[in-house]
Structure 1
Amino acid sequence: MRPHETPPKAQTPAGVGLSTGAVAMRLGVAPATLRSWERRYGIGPAARVNGRHRRWLPQDIALLEEMCRLTSRGIPPAEAARAARLAAAGAPGGTPGPAGGAALRSPGGRDMLPLERARGECRGLARAAVRLDSEAVEDLLDRALSEHRCVTAWEEIIAPTLHAVGRKWATAGERYIEVEHLLSWLVSLALRGVPRRSPTRDVPPVLLAGAPGELHSLPLEALWAALGERGLPVRMFGPAVPPDALEAAVRRTGPSVVVVWAQSRTTAVPEVLSAVEDVEWGLRGARSRSRLLLAGPGWSSLPGAGSRRLTGLRSGLTLIENLLTGPGMPAGRGPAR
């Protein structure tokens, strides 16, 4: 072999090591990023299956983890790749500081989001969010929603990561606000991209609205996406809907169920109850009222709210689905006349 020739990749049996997609999800980077690092800097798997398919072994993944740690500290990728290889070989000088000598923290150690018991996808999503790597966050969210569907992806991957970001922000001052904003925006975009089925039954729709003054609407958007994914009719009115606007929306659309989300006690105002339950809709002589369901922790202290409370996406979706498709649900009707 000539001095500058690259040695051939070692062969490994099928089933050994991880695929590029699995490693990307574990690390919170886009698969394209891993391929780019291999092409540009030689940070690639040591073995392949049948000489073609990449299989990342533990030592390869350790090298990638060091590469991610260094780039998250502001080190240019080429320098990070060199340092990661030196560190893997046990050579000195393998962990340089960031440009300009500033002591930045990596997303590991004290800066890692509190996700110790979460599934691997959560940790990958958290790492990508902390790095503000929007491309990787989008890719991980899309994969989670397509592979697990909306309810599982929300309850086991997205919501735990959002909660971890919120807890970290609460204990780290202003440092993680940008992480929360980026992640929330990309989660909203991903939920709106969930494929929607055409309604399978002609029943009055579900109306979704944020309580007056309530600006947090991601859980409501998750319910909207899950209803659409199952082919159930739904109309979203977004955050901070005033009581009079909610009453007008109920009167004009004639929904079978109204779900109002309140994150905090200050937005869980009792006027919402009368804005929905005191309104009749439908044709004269066949008036109906909508069923009001309250979602979110803000309603916990409101008197009389217990029987209307939704306690989670999965259970809430099941209840709504039973209300819409159960016996006795009339066909869809127009607004009040």
Structure 2
Amino acid sequence: MPRAVLGAQSVPEAALSVTEVSKRLGVSASTLRTWERRYGVGPEERAAGAHRRYLPDDVERLRAMIGLVRSGMPTGQAAAAVHADRARPDRSAPVRPAELRVMAESGEACALQELLESAVSEYGLVHTWSRFVAPALQEIRSGSDGEVPGGSPSRVLMCAFEHVLQAVHRSRPRRPAQVPARIVVMSDAIHEMGAQVVGVALTWYGFDVRILSSERYGGVCAAERFTAHSASHEVDLVVVMGRGGTCEEFVTTIADRSDVNILLVGADTPEILSQNVQRVRT
């Protein structure tokens, strides 16, 4: 997928007090003052006698240092690493899922969204999801400490990524006025976000995409839902993201009832023998 440039979502350059930064990052104000005095990690600009005011870049450096310290690195080495990173060319996009996890755990939704936008611009949407966001979610959800109700890091990350998905969809190229091929993406609950990513990526290539749930809701099963949709819309391709016996059942039903082409996506999709069904692992 082409790399979307999302420049309209930048975070305002609001300066924060040491108390506000302390609350956001979960580190005491006295510790932040000590780090500034001892290691030089603090506000970049500060007038003599004035209160500390942290700009977004200052907060990002502190967040990076906190992540290193929490990973087991001695404080002095973490500070040196942060200073060394500043000397390198600017890199705003994440390269490790752990970076996203630390930001999500800190509750920095706006900064997290900005970082994800940079990643999409540099690496593309599908790569950002599969290499950064999905592994970060797995790291968060596999932890044994549990999540605090109302402040779930996984939800913080998911919501930030959903905002980026919306922005990518809005910025898709406009195609010539012609009837595009319609693709229906069907997924179970566990693959919902992946289905959204695939759907948005396909719209960038000019396809008319709709996403249908393959779960049973309101007494309606997946095959019935697709039949109702295809009765009023011509469908050229069905992309299925799911697993297990339920997925196999509704795909087999759709293949038996229609001649529409079906593409199973994912290593955990069932293997179905049908001339209309193909399967790709990634």
Partner of 2:32: 81
How far apart, CA to CA, are the structure 2 residues paired with 1:109 and 1:273?
A: 48
How far apart, CA to CA, are the structure 2 residues paired with 1:146 and 1:267?
A: 37
TM-aligned CA distance change 1:152 to 1:198, over 3 Å: same
TM-aligned CA distance change 1:245 to 1:71, over 3 Å: closer
Which of 133, 144, 147 is equivalent to 1:175? 147
Instruction: Tell me by how many angstroms 1:204 deviates.
Output: 2.7
Instruction: Tell me by how many angstroms 1:71 deviates.
Output: 5.4
- Structure 1, residues 29-61: CA drift from partner, whole Å, max 9, x if none? x8757x725xx56xxxxxxxxxxxxxxxxxxxx
TM-aligned CA distance change 1:207 to 1:311, over 3 Å: same
Which of 202, 225, 237 is equivalent to 1:257? 237
Aligned ranges 1:106-125 → 2 under 5 Å: 108-109=70-71, 120=95, 122-125=97-100
SS in 2 for 1:193: helix
How far apart, CA to CA, are the structure 2 residues paired with 1:260 and 1:269?
A: 10
How far apart, CA to CA, are the structure 2 residues paired with 1:189 and 1:270?
A: 34
Instruction: Tell me by how many angstroms 1:255 deviates.
Output: 1.2
Partner of 1:304: 273
TM-aligned CA distance change 1:119 to 1:260, over 3 Å: same
- Structure 1, residues 250-270: CA drift from partner, whole Å, max 9, x if none? 3322211101221x4264241
Partner of 2:186: 209
TM-aligned CA distance change 1:204 to 1:229, over 3 Å: closer
Contact 1:209 1:261 (8 Å CA) reproduced: yes
SS in 1 for 2:124: helix
Larger RCO (CA under 8 A, 6+ residues apart):
2
Which of 240, 248, 271 is equivalent to 2:250? 271
Contact 2:185 2:238 (8 Å CA) reproduced: yes
SS in 2 for 1:240: coil
How far apart, CA to CA, are the structure 1 residues paired with 2:233 and 2:257?
A: 12
Contact 2:94 2:116 (8 Å CA) reproduced: no
How far apart, CA to CA, are the structure 1 residues paired with 2:109 and 2:207?
A: 31
Contact 1:122 1:161 (8 Å CA) reproduced: yes
Structure 2, unaligned runs of 5 or more: 1-9, 41-65, 73-92
Give the partner amino acid of 2:158.
S
How far apart, CA to CA, are the structure 1 residues paired with 2:159 and 2:175?
A: 27
How far apart, CA to CA, are the structure 1 residues paired with 2:28 and 2:214?
A: 40
Aligned ranges 1:1-337 → 2 under 5 Å: 36=15, 40=17, 72-76=25-29, 79-88=30-39, 108-109=70-71, 120=95, 122-165=97-140, 169-175=141-147, 178-194=152-168, 195-200=171-176, 202-211=179-188, 214-238=189-213, 240=215, 242=221, 243-262=223-242, 264-265=243-244, 267-275=246-254, 277-280=255-258, 289-300=259-270, 302-304=271-273, 308-312=278-282
Instruction: Tell me by how many angstroms 1:82 deviates.
Output: 0.9
Structure with max Cα Rg: 1
Give the partner amino acid of 2:161.
V
Instruction: Tell me by how many angstroms 1:292 deviates.
Output: 0.7
Instruction: Tell me by how many angstroms 1:172 deviates.
Output: 1.2
Instruction: Tell me by how many angstroms 1:120 deviates.
Output: 2.8
- How many residue pairs get matched? 214
Contact 1:206 1:258 (8 Å CA) reproduced: yes
Instruction: Tell me by how many angstroms 1:220 deviates.
Output: 0.5
TM-aligned CA distance change 1:272 to 1:128, over 3 Å: same
SS in 2 for 1:309: strand
Instruction: Tell me by how many angstroms 1:305 deviates.
Output: 8.1
TM-aligned CA distance change 1:121 to 1:170, over 3 Å: closer
Contact 1:206 1:257 (8 Å CA) reproduced: yes
